[in-house]
Structure 1
Amino acid sequence: MEKRPTSNSTILSLQTTPLLSVIIPVYNVAEYLDRCIESVIKQSYANLEIILIDDGSTDESWSICQAYKKKDNRIITLQQPNSGSSVARNTGLDIATGDYIAFIDSDDYIKQEMFQTMLSFALTNNITVVECSLIQSNKNTNSEISSNGESFIETQEEAIERLIRDKNWSVWRRIYRSDVLSNLRFIPGKIHQDVFFTIDVLNKIEKQGYIAKAFYVYNTDNESITRSAYNIKKLNAKDAPYYVFNKTQQYNLLIRTLASKYLIRTLLSHYDRLFLNNHLDENYIHRKEIKSEITDQLNLEYENNSLFGTLAKISPFWLYKIILNLNEFRIKIRLMLLKL
């Protein structure tokens, strides 16, 4: 892992400034959309192509997009029937003409120096993908950009190892040279679409840059499907960690082991939630399947054992439910004691 400074932004003034296409899918976010668009048009880096894809909004979002288009000739707007953010992002990719591509979710926003710093880092170090840190909106301060350490360049394996450990899959925390994405698209209908896309990107590149400054502000107020109450549709999301596992089998033992642990943790998360929402799986059909999948992973020759994974493997359902309820009670008591 190579450490690199991020303070040198003069590279952008010493050569032709590349066009950066910023793709923003929009759906019923009128409350947050002004803040998002303003944060983009006020970037210190000006050579932008700002693509607003309205995904069939039923609030004032489309009107807001059109109003900004009239004020800034860098903005392109397009409206489509509601098809999901994957399709909206793909629509943006199809019409983008930039040398680099970035994604932003329309309820989030970014710090003013984000694109200037990331593009400078990419050009200075001849890197096709650069990632930055993020901060949650409920922890954000306007006066500073927090830093979580030194910036660096990492190999493909180092990047994949870090992402599996930290689960930093979000596509909006990166900029991409456009040729990297030339034959990649998002899979429609996937809950965790970013996982698939990011693994595909990392499998194409030799190295990635990381900037340890929180330029991206992630909105914690707006509810999304990933943050809403558990339902049976979310069970389909277990295909994302399976994709990570299957797409990392060519790497070293550590990465394969981490991918297996990541899969087990996700399977356990669904397993536990089904016990806490028994009405979703009254005949234990899904829990039987998940238990078998956890057992398969634990039988691999990896050091991937976990206490609750082993308990799920060996315990009958009635016993596991008692253990889970006792653990939930233990956590509640601990939280109550911490508040005293």
Structure 2
Amino acid sequence: MTNPKVSVIVPIYNVEKYLDECMVSLLNQTLEDIEIILVDDESPDNCPKMCDEYANKDKRVKVVHKKNGGLSFARNSGLDVATGEYVAFIDSDDFIDLDMMEHLYNVATEYNADEVRCGIKFYVGGKFTERHDVDKLTVFRGKEQVVDFMLDVVGPLPECKRDVKYMMSSCCCIHSRKVIEDNHIRFLSERECLSEDLIWDIDLFSKMNCVVYVPECHYAYRMNPSSLTHQYSREKYQRNYNFFEILEEKLAGILAKEKYELHLLRSQMLYFRNSISGFVHNNGNVKDDVRYVLNDNFWKRLFSLYPFKRLPLKQRVYYTLAKLKSPTLMIILAKLK
């Protein structure tokens, strides 16, 4: 029996409301030669039973029941049993176009790609907003081009108008399982490291020879403001430090500092803005929380290192005002965003 073309790994926790919509989009893929691995992360709702019912109805569905360990470890459990040529990750409250797997797999085969990415469409209130990072099929071939792409995923150079040139995500793509297994790549726990997807991306890209980006937005990301992804706290803010320590350690193991430093600093600047915005929209003790960020020596060091004059005007004005350390001003700017 031949291995499936793609293993689709779906971590599941407390998503009874959305699971059927996700599964309809997977079970009806135009690429039928796939396996769907449902990883029940000790979900407290009806999801474990639903998973078993899906497996009973379709032989392509595998179910892993495990003790709760979080999204990253659930993905790792899926990787441990995956047999496909390529691997895809789908979050269980999201859904995908019916031709996503066929399109990405065909491109991967045509270009002998280690990874193929597509665009994302954000799903809010029944409406889609598409994000296109490329306007045509784009190939990054050879170590140098893939590393340059990786650095732009970390953070763009100062002159770039977008704070995010290419979105980091493990979900809007298919990855070579051979590259993953040959290099023993697994996810770090999101409970210890913010943006575990970015660390995953770096581990992968550093071992890849060809990445292809297609402009089509096949992945529907459900925006849920009440989800863990969008909650903010000082504890979550403090995890920035550990994340950036791991991120720089990964980059330093691959490249000279002068090659990655500006990309890393731009990434840190975005986290500064997102931290301010996160506290402002969290309905907590907003002014004290924003002041807490503004007085953090981490950002003082960042502001002393970054070439702000090279930034586009909008970003340059924002960070110039941030140096004034006025919580009221930062709150106003965050609400205007």
**C-alpha separation in 1, matches of 2:276 and 2:299:** 10
Aligned partner of 1:211 in structure 2 is 214
Aligned partner of 2:116 in structure 1 is 130
Q: Which runs of 5+ in 2 are unaligned?
A: 157-163, 310-315
1:189-212 Cα shifts (integer Å, max 9, x gaps): 234221211121112213310011
1:153 aligns with one of 122, 139, 144: 139
Say which SS state the counterpart of residue 263 (structure 1) adopts.
helix
Q: Where do residues 105-144 of structure 1 align in structure 2 (5 Å cutoff)?
A: 105-138=91-124
Aligned partner of 1:225 in structure 2 is 228
Say which SS state the counterpart of residue 91 (structure 2) adopts.
coil
**C-alpha separation in 2, matches of 1:157 and 1:287:** 32
Question: 112-121 or 252-261: which moved more?
Answer: 252-261
Aligned partner of 1:258 in structure 2 is 263
Aligned partner of 1:5 in structure 2 is none
CA contact (8 A) 1:147 1:213 kept: no
**C-alpha separation in 2, matches of 1:145 and 1:20:** 25
CA contact (8 A) 2:25 2:95 kept: yes
**C-alpha separation in 2, matches of 1:331 and 1:269:** 9
Aligned partner of 2:169 in structure 1 is 170
1:303 aligns with one of 299, 303, 307: 307
Paired positions, count? 306
Aligned partner of 1:184 in structure 2 is 185
Q: Where do residues 1-340 of structure 1 align in structure 2 (5 Å cutoff)?
A: 19-138=5-124, 149-154=135-140, 155-163=145-153, 164-165=155-156, 166=164, 168-182=167-181, 183-188=184-189, 189=191, 190-221=193-224, 223-228=226-231, 230-238=232-240, 239-249=242-252, 250=255, 255-270=260-275, 278=285, 287=293, 291-300=296-305, 302-304=306-308, 306=316, 309=319, 315=324, 320=325, 323-329=326-332
**C-alpha separation in 1, matches of 2:52 and 2:58:** 10
CA contact (8 A) 2:87 2:175 kept: yes
TM-score, reference length from structure 1: 0.78
CA contact (8 A) 2:88 2:173 kept: yes
Distance 1:104 1:262, change over 3 A: same
**C-alpha separation in 2, matches of 1:145 and 1:268:** 20
**C-alpha separation in 2, matches of 1:226 and 1:141:** 20
Distance 1:308 1:324, change over 3 A: farther
**C-alpha separation in 2, matches of 1:187 and 1:153:** 28
**C-alpha separation in 1, matches of 2:120 and 2:212:** 15
CA contact (8 A) 2:96 2:220 kept: yes
The amino acid across from 1:120 in the alignment is: N
The amino acid across from 2:296 in the alignment is: K
Identity percentage of aligned residues: 27
**C-alpha separation in 1, matches of 2:277 and 2:103:** 42
Quote how far apart the aligned CAs of 1:173 are.
0.8
TM-score, reference length from structure 2: 0.79
The amino acid across from 1:56 in the alignment is: E
Say which SS state the counterpart of residue 92 (structure 1) adopts.
helix
Question: 218-227 or 270-279: which moved more?
Answer: 270-279
Q: Which runs of 5+ in 1 are unaligned?
A: 1-15, 336-340
**C-alpha separation in 2, matches of 1:246 and 1:331:** 31
Quote how far apart the aligned CAs of 1:110 are.
0.6
**C-alpha separation in 2, matches of 1:278 and 1:41:** 45
- Structure with higher Rg: it is 1
Question: 250-259 or 115-124: which moved more?
Answer: 250-259
Distance 1:207 1:17, change over 3 A: same
